[in-house]
Chains A and B, each alone.
Chain A
Amino acid sequence: MQVNNGYQPKIVAFCCNWCSYAGADLAGNNRLAYPENVKIIKVPCSCRVNPMFILRAFQRGADGVILCGCHPGDCHYTSGNYYTRRRMALLFSMLNFLGIEKERTRVEWVSAAEGAKFAATMNEFCETVAALGENKRLEDLRCKR
């Protein structure tokens, strides 16, 4: 998909193994298009993602980072995503506090049955980030040499 005169943002999507990754699979099976510049990283549970993962993704050139997990209440490990929810609420609020565009980060709950939601979310997230342009505020210049 091309947005904004050819500019394609780099998006990193952390997806939990049990719901969201399967959701992405379903999107594929159903031939639902979402941008190829979304790079999925599979994690056992959304709560495996610690704040450093998010920052590291930005450091390595991501323009937006999205974290997908099972819907609250549906975690394969019962409560993992409840912890994720608190962690990311605080982290994203802190990033906002440091003046980093809040639209660059997102948490979305996507079940294994929600292939359509996965594709729609990614399309919409990609457009939002593309509108913001390149990530300048959390970039590591060394990685761009």
Chain B
Amino acid sequence: MRKCKTDALDAVFAEIAKSSLLYIPTDTEKGAEYKKWSDGMKMSNALNTVRSPKDFFFPQTEDLMEFKVNGKEIEVIDTRSEKEDFVVFGVRACDVKSFEILDRVFLIDPCDSYYANRREHSTIVSVACTRPVETCFCQTFGIDAAAPEGDVSCWKTDSEVYFKANTPKGEALLAKLEGITVDADDKDVTAQQEKTREIMKKLPLAELSADKFGAGKTEEFFNAPEWDELSESCLGCGTCTFVCPTCQCYDIKDYNTGHGVIRFRCWDSCMYSDFTKMAHGNPRLTQKERFRQRFMHKLVYYPSNNDGLFSCVGCGRCLAKCPISMNIVKVMKTIGKSE
């Protein structure tokens, strides 16, 4: 484990930025956002960013290829550019976990080369939470907010910042910081972790359990009568899916520029009426079915295909942002019949 003084964080950023792009969460008028680091930019102390960091690997809109029409010729252009190495600094434990969930979708055969390209060029520096809030429930899914994963894990105490490399990429990054950091023991980190874990136990959603859900539970929950009342007031907007770090559905579309075609993909939302629309029409005709799809996917279908791993990380973004305050916690409690 290595450490540096909190004041030296600017130097750490400067050092990292010498060899790669660096993104850190920084405060804006409307909450914290990841921004490209530039000299003097301060890292946000907010618990989390408004938008999740999934954009780094799976951007909301991305061009896949371009077709140019020239008389009777059609030229196919690969619009991909070789990605520069980049570091995302300050990712919380829940969001780090979301990358694993996305990896299992995009990196299995057939591998999504657009996603893989970005993943390969990235180094993730996580940061441990010390002040979780009422909407946090990462522990429900076995995530330890005090021990985040990532290529490098990082803990910020009042006066110092501790670093621990977890992967060869992380070690390479810490090697670059050798001049700024010094060796450290884990005494202060352990103390901080214990304190955070105590706080986690006292959170309002600490008791929330996902035990009732998981692989193979489709028949048990699919026809539950509670879906009616839960989805009753759903507006059918895409807020929950677009702020979610693990929602991974996308649509591929063509845009006619008048002299060619741009083929792009963009996030899709199961809440939308044109989601998975096919030649025969839409397989999910009512909002209830679309609503059910989202939560069944997170709690049952995904675990069924991925060794029981849930595709929710308990970051709490949907709890804070849903226009009608309907969310996965309320669904789990109602469908799972627990208080």
A and B touch in the complex (CB under 8 A): yes
A95 to chain B, nearest CB (A): 22
B66 interface hit (Cβ, 8 Å): yes
Q: Mark B226-260, 1 if CB is under 8 A from A, else 0.
A: 00000000000000000000000000000101101
Bound Cα distance from A142 to B262, whole angstroms: 8
B265 to chain A, nearest CB (A): 14
Bound Cα distance from A142 to B260, whole angstroms: 10
Chain B residue numbers with a CB within 8 Å of A145 are 66, 257, 260, 262
B334 to chain A, nearest CB (A): 42
Interface size on B, residues (CB 8 A): 6
Chain B residue numbers with a CB within 8 Å of A61 are 258
Check if A143 sits within 8 Å of B66, measured CB to CB: no
Residue among B66, B255, B257, B262 with most chain A CB within 10 A: B257
A137 interface hit (Cβ, 8 Å): no
Bound Cα distance from A131 to B258, whole angstroms: 26
Beta-carbon nearest neighbor of B79 in chain A: A145
A102 interface hit (Cβ, 8 Å): no
Bound Cα distance from A60 to B66, whole angstroms: 18
Interface size on A, residues (CB 8 A): 5
A69 to chain B, nearest CB (A): 27
Chain B residue numbers with a CB within 8 Å of A143 are 257-258
A42 to chain B, nearest CB (A): 20
Check if B258 sits within 8 Å of A60, measured CB to CB: yes
* CB-contacts of A108-145 with B (<8 A): 142-143, 145
Residue among A60, A61, A145 with most chain B CB within 10 A: A145
Beta-carbon nearest neighbor of A144 in chain B: B257
Chain A residue numbers with a CB within 8 Å of B262 are 142, 145
B81 to chain A, nearest CB (A): 14
Identify the B interface with A (CB < 8 A).
66, 255, 257-258, 260, 262
9 A-B residue pairs with Cβ-Cβ distance under 8 Å, sorted by A, are A60-B258, A142-B255, A142-B257, A142-B262, A143-B257, A143-B258, A145-B66, A145-B257, A145-B260
| Other contacts beyond A142-B262, A145-B257, A145-B260: 4, CB < 8 A | A142-B257, A143-B257, A143-B258, A145-B66
